[in-house]
Amino acid sequence: MTDGTRPSHAAAGAQRAPDSGAHIALTEEHAAHNYHPLPVVLAHGEGAWVTDVEGRHYLDCLAGYSALNFGHGNPRLVARAKEQLERLTLASRAFYTDTLGPFAAALAQLTGHEVVLPMNTGAEAVETALKVVRKWGYRVKGVPEDAATIVVMEGNFHGRTTTIVSFSDDKEASDDYGPYTPGFRTVRYGDVDALRAAVDDTTVAVLLEPIQGEGGVVIPPDGYLRAVRAVCDEAGALMVADEIQSGLARTGRTFACDHEDVRPDVYVLGKALGGGILPVSAITADHRVLDVIRPGTHGSTFGGNPLAAAVGHEVVTMLGEGEFQERAARLGALLADGLHPLVGAGLDAVRVRGLWAGLDVAPGGPSGRQLCERLLERGVLAKDTHGSTIRLAPPLVVTEEEVALLVAAVADSLS
């Protein structure tokens, strides 16, 4: 494991011509404008640091929206990927491979579930979960055909497919993509009474993020996840936890649900499951749920491919050792201690769970975008959301010194 210290390859970046402007212009001309990147062109990553084409170093405090929990170029993951690259990268699921079974068994054990259905991207995993719970509702619960409902949360973010944006309340994400997929009921996040009122005999599942990442690292009230579990049990509905961002050690536990000792019926996983190397996602559940999927009813050309399974298996093995959970908890406490004093000194609110933070800028201060631009000037990469909020999610390989550097950069950018 790299230790997260500043990389020593400055010369490699410095040898390249200073051509950020050319790269940005070429991208803006030929790549669709579905993102609004900060004006930095990255060329190299190591541990918690990235280097741009001019050789400048930046502390990466976005970490690919938690896809890089284990840092850039993690040696264990790179070695496993290289080994597999030389053996077998892709085989149709029409055949067995020697990597999928071990990966699925290890991931099932990590989640406490019996069965794994592998996919590629997080949105695919969410779509898979939606299909599974609906099919379960018809085949097992006995909901009348085409009557199944799924309860979702205000402020949710589960991806950008047509069905997923159908139950998003972010107008920017959903406008002009109708007609929308029916069958979803939206309730206020953290409101148990609203959830209970929305559940009825047609409800097959409650889908939620244990912590809302895109929403600004929104942490629900204490006891909320246990209450959701109880409501689902009472209603005979499935609890589906989207831990694509919050899972796999980000919050100081393997899963955010672990903070309340809750096990959902379905985990939705992605991002860090691919080790920052390639897209790997999955849902996990017990046989009583996933056995509704039979040959021919769902699939993916690349889902569970040998390379993905090999890398995913190494990720699960590393998580089983507990080091990353411990680091996220310990360093997250330092991050919280450093950020909370900034409330009233440029920030309105700070929310921290493990090495994951949401910062609300006080009225009259910079916008979230402007704060990220100021941080960029100070060698820190972060991402804004919803106007006045920024998110911090450094790789879990950061050091105490780098956490202090991050806090100092935030404080300096607010002044």
Q: How far apart are CA 242 and CA 268, in angstroms?
A: 5
Q: How far apart are CA 289 and CA 22, in angstroms?
A: 51
| Helices 100-111 and 306-320, axial angle in degrees (round to 10) | 40
Neighbour tally for 76: CB within 10 Å: 16
Out of 103, 157, 302, 324, the active site residue is 157
Nearest to 266 by CA among 229, 294, 230, 296: 229
Give the largest Cα separation in the chain, rounded: 66
Residues 6+ apart with CB under 8 A from 408: none
Catalytic annotation present for 157: yes
Strand partners, 384: 390
Catalytic annotation present for 271: yes
Out of 52, 60, 242, 265, the active site residue is 242
DSSP annotation of 44: E
Out of 255, 271, 383, 384, the active site residue is 271
Q: Is the separation of the CB atoms in 361 and 371 below 8 Å?
A: yes
The DSSP secondary structure of 179-234, one letter per residue, reads SPP--EEEE-TT-HHHHHHH--TTEEEEEE-SSBTTTTSBPPPTTHHHHHHHHHHH
- What amino acid occupies position 132? V
Find the radius of gyration of the CA atoms of the chain: 21
- The catalytic site residues sit at 157, 242, 271
